[in-house]
Structure 1
Amino acid sequence: MTYDEILNRFKEGTVVVPGKKVKFDFGDAGKIFLDGGANAVSNEDAVADTTIKVKLEDFVAMAQGQLDPTAAFMQGKLRVEGDMGVAMQLQGVMAKLRG
């Protein structure tokens, strides 16, 4: 799964956390911004309630069920900046990627 494929799946499913702004920061690979207020998905580098920093390959492994998000967090492969409660709601986002 490539960055563009992930971005398109998010856009097609309008995958957001209602009322919250979440940014996935894949470093040099790009960013995905989920705007739960505007119900929109983009590749903007905007200010978010929660920013998830993870390498693209680790994110893909999580999306495919090969890497547990909690294990990734504990191993330092996934970092959360901002509202941890929003991060906990992202399991539904990952499920939509698999679907």
Structure 2
Amino acid sequence: DSFKSAAGSQTAKVQQVVTSPDGEKRYWFKLEGGQASPGMGDSPEPVDATITQDYETAAAMSKNELSGTAAYMSGKLRVSGDLMKLMQLQGALGQMPTALKGIDVDY
């Protein structure tokens, strides 16, 4: 599995905030042992980093139409916390849209 291979033995806890005219949606995921455990709302544990982006950016990233690096470099994605940790996770984060493609999502 490409995600598990990319994740390796890395561990991280990340909060995601998606903004829209209707307010914020908050999600989190924990990466551990080559597996990602996602959840809705605020992370129950302290996070290494928080990623904030608008709905259009989040949807484009989810559909693998925009990479996290391109979104960050263009200012469409903001990071607070440990940016270096996220950079180390770049391979695993890049595989997440493929790993999650079986989830039914309405955009």
TM normalised by structure 1 equals: 0.64
Aligned pair count reads: 84
Is the 8 Å Cα contact of residues 26 and 54 (structure 1) preserved in structure 2? yes
Partner of 2:54: 55
Post-superposition Cα deviations, 1:17-59, rounded to whole Å, max 9, x if no partner, equal: 943211111132411111346x642113234110001112212
Structure 1 residue runs of 4 or more that deviate by more than 6 Å after TM superposition: none
- Which stretch shows the higher mean deviation, 75-84 or 54-63? 54-63
Q: Which has the higher strand share?
A: 2
Unaligned runs of 5+ in 2: 1-6, 100-107
When residues 56 and 91 of structure 1 are mapped into structure 2, their CA distance, relative to the original with a 3 A threshold, is farther
Q: Does 1:24 align with 2:16?
A: yes
- Distance (whole Å) between structure 1 residues aligned to residue 13 and residue 90 of structure 2: 12
Instruction: Please tell me whether Structure 1 or Structure 2 has the larger radius of gyration of its CA atoms.
Output: 2
Percent identity of paired positions between Structure 1 and Structure 2: 27
When residues 64 and 21 of structure 1 are mapped into structure 2, their CA distance, relative to the original with a 3 A threshold, is same
TM normalised by structure 2 equals: 0.61
- Which stretch shows the higher mean deviation, 16-25 or 61-70? 16-25
Question: CA RMSD, aligned part only?
Answer: 2.7
Q: Which has the higher helix share?
A: 1
Unaligned runs of 5+ in 1: 1-15
Cα deviation for residue 86 of structure 1 reads 2.3
- Distance (whole Å) between structure 1 residues aligned to residue 39 and residue 78 of structure 2: 21
Cα deviation for residue 62 of structure 1 reads 1.8
SS of 1:61's equivalent in the other structure is: helix
